[in-house]
Amino acid sequence: MKLIKSTILILFVLVSTQMYSQYTDVINSNRPGVSRSAFSVGTKVAQFEVGPYFIKEKRTPALQTETSGYGIDFAARYGLLLEQLELNIEGTYQNDTKTYFSTVPFDENRSNFKNLTIGAKYLIFDPYKNSENDKPNLYSWKANHQFKWSSLIPAVSAYIGVNYDTKNNPYVAPGVEGISPKVMLISQNNFNSGWVLVTNLIFDRLFVNPKDINGNPIVINGKEYKASEFQYIITLTHSFSPKWVVFGETQGIKSDFYADNLFRFGGAYLWGKDFQLDTAITLNTKDTPSVFSVNFGASYRLDFHKDKIQKNENIDNGASAKEEGKRRSRKNKKTTDVIEDYNKKHKRKVQKFN
């Protein structure tokens, strides 16, 4: 109950801040990596992200095991009420066979949700909200491509979610079941030339202390066993054309149940403004167990945001289509005048050097 009250209080404080738009003309997906962007999909936008994968794990020291199987990552995101607020449900379902190479080898068939979470993300701080004022410099290519120190200031979001784990789930810590909280701090830097850096700090299954069959705390090596987990994810993305993106990602996981450092590499292709295809591979550098996974995914959005923007513009301007046309003509003329002025200056400069 205290957790629910705290969540409502935090959301109330966040909602009371100033509104500004996060909507983009093309789809903004969290895929193909597993990190979350700091920005929401925008109000009245429903977005779906899905990716089947194949996985192979092998543990060589001591108890030798091998796991082979497949699964699917999925997420549904929706922008509700405020541009900064996004509601989402996400999860991973896996089906595999785990082989134990003991004196008498045997197989264990497993299937369940590795995670299933419902949550909300809210943009606390956006340094790019006035980016429309930072227009290209028509007179200097260098000014448009040089490093901007302001880009070191990231956008920051907070995420609050609730996990649901079924009883006897083979993919989570022993004794973990039911509902548990998940919180996340997200930062995002958008640099020049298409580079984007995203960082996630995740605290998962907080305050969960598994019990044995007698209801007593589980003690391992004299220490009470806890199911809480800390993760960090750092993703670097580069868009080298309007349609192609490549990325590299590192993910660290630390808990009493499992610890690892995973690395991902891949890319995405923008098929259309509302549809993206992607692929990635995941691997690590240890053998307890070694991990190798390949996934293929897609993201699609249902965009009802533009109609709302156009409607609001017409209401705010109080102008007819003719008046809107005049306004655009004046704007285009102003732009043309700037370009012509640039061409004249450039011509004079060339003549001077000739």
Omega before 32 cis (within 30°)?
A: yes
For the record, the structure tokens of 323 come out as 């008046």
Question: Which of 114-128, 201-215, 318-332 is modeled with the greatest confidence?
Answer: 114-128
Mean pLDDT, the chain, integer: 81
For the record, the structure tokens of 38 come out as 């700091």
**Residue-wise pLDDT tens digits, 159-216:** 999 999 999 999 998 888 999 999 999 999 998 888 999 999 999 999 888 777 777 7
Cβ contacts of residue 234 below 8 Å, gap of 6+? Answer: 35, 197, 198, 199, 200, 249, 250
The pLDDT of residue 75 is above 50: yes
The pLDDT of residue 38 is above 50: yes
Of the given ranges (114-123, 184-193, 259-268, 306-315), which has the lowest mean pLDDT? 306-315
The pLDDT of residue 253 is above 70: yes
The pLDDT of residue 24 is above 70: yes
Which helix or strand (DSSP H or E) is residue 328 part of?
Answer: helix 321-353
Q: What is the mean pLDDT of residues 264-278?
A: 96
DSSP states along 15-84: HTSPP-----SS-----SSS---SS---BTEEEEEEEEEEEEEEE-SSS-EEEEEEEEEEEEEEE-SSTT
The pLDDT of residue 330 is above 60: no
**Residue-wise pLDDT tens digits, 82-120:** 999 999 999 999 999 999 987 788 899 999 999 999 999
Identify the residue whose tokens are 């923007």: 309
Contact 229, 254 (CB under 8 A): yes
The pLDDT of residue 298 is above 60: yes
Contact 129, 12 (CB under 8 A): no
